[in-house]
Structure 1
Amino acid sequence: MITVPVSRRTALGALVGATTLAFSPALRAQGNPKVRVGVLKFGTVNWELDSLKHNAFDKAHNVDVEVVYFAGEDATNVAILAREIDLIVSDWLWVSRLRSEGEDLALIPYSTAVGAIMVKQDSPIKAIPDLKGKKIGVAGGPLDKSWLLLQALAKRDHGVDLATEAEIAYGAPPLMSEKAMQGELDAVLNFWHFCARLEANGFRRLASANDAALALGATGPVASLGYVVHDKWAKENDAALRGFIAASSDTKKLLGTSNEEWQRLAPVMRAEGKELETLRDRYREGIPTRPIVDDASDAAKLYEVLASVGGEKLVGKAATMAPGTYWSGLFE
């Protein structure tokens, strides 16, 4: 459990809302400090960063965000560890594991959007026990955080061991969605945006990772993903990082209210009509709104659940979430 003094229990929204960067004329003359963000070429983080750059929210907060594209998640991880970029998006589980092994990584919440088990609207599967004996597609592999949480919920509340009592097929997210659409799977657990596209095409949610998290002790939606930064870089570039956080917050406010901005993003998202609307609505549901201290506390609870299910392969030798997993500047 993470304990933070009451006087420092500050919501992320309050932090970025109160962040005002006042650079001296000399610094302004030198140009805004650059923040390099590494992202997947076709990942959903691009939507927010595209909007951030298009609306010049970075310049409004006296930073220059440079988006650096990578072909895969492993490449972004290597780049941040090599300090070739300043931020990436990953989850607190990865941050905690690396931190427990000596890295000085820390997380700033980005989104609470998570995957869900999806079935066709007319499927006879109505509840988790109905998955026994069924073929389930799982994106992300056997150690995927959402999959482990849903397994823990199924076992605790329904006495069902999904890993052994159902037929599991692991695969890449697009392949899993395609097989579900073709009827080759009875159910599919996929990442949130693939779930949204399925939802727009005749599927319904059976259970989400957030449902499992709440049932397993979380008091609200936990940020599944966050911007990841090195503590050392954050300390040396505090104003630039806070400027980036403020720009990200402004972008989320726009995307949370403007349907027109989503229409502008449609070509980037490769979506239109009902798909675009569903992706928009699910993104908005994933905008973090809770105080940081609550999010961090719940993440620590879920870490222990995940450690008990995934074991050392998932979390390494650390039985509890590493102190400092959430960037300390969020609690100031």
Structure 2
Amino acid sequence: MRLSRAVSALFALLFAMVLALPATAETKPTLRVGVLKFGTVNWELDAMKRAGLDGKAGVDVEIVPFAGEDASAVALQAGSVDMIVSDWLWVSRLRAEGADYTFVPYSTSVGSLMVAGDSPVENLGDLKGRTIGVAGGPLDKNWLLIQALAKKAFDVDLAAENSIVYGAPPLLTEKARQGELDAVLNFWHYAARLEAEGFRTLVSGTDAAVKMGTSGPVAAIGWVFSDGFAKEHPEAIEGFLAADKATKALLASSDEAWEALKPLMKAEDEKTFTTLRDRYREGIPSRSGAEEAKDTETLYQLLAGIGGERLVGPAKTLSPGTYYDDGKNGS
């Protein structure tokens, strides 16, 4: 009887101790983020987890890798992940079709049109009659904007008056190295690698957008999740966005944090590493979501006029709610 009472007293004490544990020991909400297995988004998420910034913000970020962008989009729509990285145009198009996905800017780093360091090409007008490699296909946003700028500034139709080679980013990068292309429009990190090898930027997607009417750089990609998830799990979204902000601040200021990312970056040499780091830092959004949303509306109109329904879908304007409203005046 005494033993039974002692055991009961012990369990009662243990139960009381569990109840007395601080809130920080409680299970944090988990946020499943779907990312490309070898994408640059992994750099930030690795830094976030390494520094424990997700936990400090009250959320447990679970990284779910995918082999391709389409797979991560399908996973989000199926509910297998809670968040992915995608572009605002995809979000706007789905919202126009009745979905409730929404967007928070992640990076303003966009593709750049690169030429060899000793190339005679000095502007878009000089490209007439030359061979241009384009990653992302004929409806790539940066390609459309650069075409529009070439037509406006130099009266050159790049698609009609040049030999255009569409292809995968690594293949086009190699063709540019071998001198088979006079210019190559590639995603930002491939462009950064070429820059480290002596190539120079002729014009970036951001340059083209600003010259065509935006007041500043617009984030091409962002964190995408559903309004419904945000309403059901506000702590998870709020915590993740706080961790995202803290991680960007860390990567903007700490060279040491970048040293830990070297294995993920797979930089061929120190110059490539520092160029990738510096271009990543330049792409950290510095404007509020509200400011970017206003410019995105301008950009949407431009792209709708150039790419038509094949690019933007049936909606004539950016769909309301494309940018996430966190109730903090769009900041």
TM-score of the pair, normalised by structure 2: 0.91
Counterpart in 2 of 1:58? 54
- Aligned: 1:95 with 2:88: no
The Cα of 1:139 is off from its aligned counterpart by 0.4
CA distance in 2, matches of 1:83, 1:28: 28
> Secondary structure at 1:164's aligned position in 2?
coil
CA distance in 1, matches of 2:290, 2:86: 19
- Aligned: 1:82 with 2:78: yes
Contact between 2:58 and 2:235, CA under 8 Å: does it hold in 1?
no
The Cα of 1:262 is off from its aligned counterpart by 1.1
The Cα of 1:149 is off from its aligned counterpart by 0.9
Corresponding letter in the other structure for 2:152: R
With over 3 angstroms needed to count, the CA separation of the structure-2 counterparts of 1:303 and 1:25, relative to structure 1, is farther
Contact between 1:137 and 1:189, CA under 8 Å: does it hold in 2?
yes
Deviations 1:21-77 (A, max 9, x none): xxx978655410000000000000000000000000001011000000000000011
CA distance in 1, matches of 2:90, 2:155: 29
> Secondary structure at 2:160's aligned position in 1?
helix
CA distance in 2, matches of 1:148, 1:25: 57
Counterpart in 2 of 1:292? 289
Counterpart in 2 of 1:322? 319
Compute the RMSD of aligned alpha carbons. 1.3
The Cα of 1:227 is off from its aligned counterpart by 0.2
Contact between 1:293 and 1:331, CA under 8 Å: does it hold in 2?
no
CA distance in 1, matches of 2:125, 2:184: 15
Q: Which runs of 5+ in 2 are unaligned?
A: 1-19
Counterpart in 2 of 1:279? 276
Corresponding letter in the other structure for 2:176: A
Corresponding letter in the other structure for 1:118: M
Corresponding letter in the other structure for 2:250: L
Counterpart in 2 of 1:44? 40
Corresponding letter in the other structure for 2:66: F
Corresponding letter in the other structure for 2:313: G
Counterpart selection for 1:172 from 168, 171, 174: 168
Counterpart in 1 of 2:142? 146
> Secondary structure at 2:219's aligned position in 1?
coil
The Cα of 1:329 is off from its aligned counterpart by 1.1
> Secondary structure at 1:329's aligned position in 2?
coil
Counterpart in 1 of 2:108? 112
CA distance in 2, matches of 1:329, 1:275: 37
> Secondary structure at 1:163's aligned position in 2?
coil
The Cα of 1:264 is off from its aligned counterpart by 1.2
Q: Where in structure 2 are the equivalents of 1:195-206 lying within 5 Å?
A: 195-206=191-202
- Find the structure with the greater CA-based Rg: 2
With over 3 angstroms needed to count, the CA separation of the structure-2 counterparts of 1:115 and 1:56, relative to structure 1, is same
Aligned residues: 309
> Secondary structure at 1:328's aligned position in 2?
coil
Counterpart in 2 of 1:5? none
Corresponding letter in the other structure for 1:292: G
The Cα of 1:174 is off from its aligned counterpart by 0.6
With over 3 angstroms needed to count, the CA separation of the structure-2 counterparts of 1:330 and 1:314, relative to structure 1, is farther
CA distance in 1, matches of 2:308, 2:22: 53
TM-score of the pair, normalised by structure 1: 0.91
With over 3 angstroms needed to count, the CA separation of the structure-2 counterparts of 1:232 and 1:140, relative to structure 1, is same
Contact between 1:52 and 1:58, CA under 8 Å: does it hold in 2?
yes
With over 3 angstroms needed to count, the CA separation of the structure-2 counterparts of 1:309 and 1:82, relative to structure 1, is same
CA distance in 2, matches of 1:250, 1:159: 45
> Secondary structure at 2:152's aligned position in 1?
helix
Counterpart in 2 of 1:7? none
Contact between 1:38 and 1:87, CA under 8 Å: does it hold in 2?
yes
Contact between 1:292 and 1:330, CA under 8 Å: does it hold in 2?
no
CA distance in 2, matches of 1:90, 1:159: 33
CA distance in 1, matches of 2:261, 2:165: 33
Corresponding letter in the other structure for 1:309: I
> Alignment identity in percent?
58
The Cα of 1:212 is off from its aligned counterpart by 0.6
The Cα of 1:156 is off from its aligned counterpart by 1.5
Contact between 1:112 and 1:223, CA under 8 Å: does it hold in 2?
yes
CA distance in 2, matches of 1:148, 1:74: 22
Contact between 2:109 and 2:280, CA under 8 Å: does it hold in 1?
yes
Deviations 1:135-183 (A, max 9, x none): 0000001111111111111112211111111110000111110110011
The Cα of 1:331 is off from its aligned counterpart by 4.3
